[in-house]
Amino acid sequence: MREDDAFRAATMYYLQDQTMDVIARTLGISRSTVSRLIKSAREDGMVRISLRPPSSTGSQLGHRLSATFGIKAHVVSVRESASEVHRLEQVAMVAAGLIAEWFGPDMVLGVAWGTTVAAISRHLKSSPSPGSVVVQLNGAANTYASGVTYASDLIAAIAAAFDSTMYHFPVPAFFDFPETKRMMWRERSVRRVLQMQQRVDVALFGVGALSAEVPSHVYSSGYLDDAEIASLAADRVVGDVCTVFLREDGSFRDIDINARATGPSPLELRTIKRRVCVVVGEAKAHALLGALRARVVTDLVTDETTARHVLGLLRGAPGTAEGGRLVP
């Protein structure tokens, strides 16, 4: 009954533009009760509020990114002097609202673990979606310390927000040998998760970069040793998407470690209809440009400073890459 009252009160307040006094008289309750019902409706996810700013620097940057890469760019306005941590929280809040808008009943959400996605999970409101599934896109264990708990907790938090069924991916982030990966991909327990990944309607991921004020989890938590990081740098790798590495031109096929990575390749990501990439930080601009050129993004959520840096990198360097070959 309380949910019905909250829905009626919210409908009258937000859609019918009624005052709290009018709502109170109509429903036969006190004004303070109306206020509590409206607050309850917001907290329970009945009400979703969005703001569309007038023409501004953020929207202009978004239009330029959208036109350049054929994506939908959501550029969040955050003051220039804000720390990267503060910018991450602001962008994560917007991204959480968008995911709640795009993901619903009987859908499958694919999630790649990482610092940015963890921030998004903290801002998700309860939004039950019957019949929905949240599936982990990349393995999490590493050589030095298990990352399984980190990834499992993250997937669990997102699944709880939507009251979804969880599918964890019980494999390491990187195998030691490509042959091991090929053998594991034949196991029934792994195939079950891979099959669910093929049903993903919305993919959510960030972009990793070697150096950033907010470190990317894959580089700060023992997933790679010094020799591997040096090898990636020598191979002109700028970052990763779903723990699959790429260069600034978008190429990825001939990077040796990718044969051992357990995340979906850019080719596999492209089969997903909506691919939501959330990125904050100037240090991630080169990696984000690589992801955009690899065409793994349909929806980008970022801040003005990061967007400006990515557009700045484009001067004199048009085109995208497929393998090692530039494609207009």
164-203 pLDDT tens trace: 999 999 999 999 999 999 999 999 999 999 999 999 999 9
- Reduced to 3 states (helix: H, G, I; strand: E, B; else coil), residue 170 is coil
pLDDT surpassing 50 at residue 112: yes
144-170 pLDDT tens trace: 554 556 789 999 999 999 999 999 999
Kindly give the residue spans of alpha helices, DSSP state H, lying in the chain: 2-10, 20-27, 31-43, 57-69, 84-102, 115-121, 148-162, 178-184, 188-197, 217-220, 226-234, 266-269, 285-293, 304-313
Q: Provide the residue type at 307 as one letter.
A: A
pLDDT surpassing 50 at residue 320: no
pTM of the predicted protein model: 0.79
What are the structural domains of the chain? 2-43 (1.10.10.60), 57-327 (3.40.50.1360)
Give every CB contact of residue 30 below 8 A, 6+ residues apart in sequence: 24
Mean pLDDT of the chain: 87
Q: Which of 304, 319, 299 is nearest to 66 (CA)?
A: 299
Please list the residues that pair with 141 across neighbouring strands: 172
Band (44; pLDDT cuts 50, 70, 90): confident
- Reduced to 3 states (helix: H, G, I; strand: E, B; else coil), residue 309 is helix
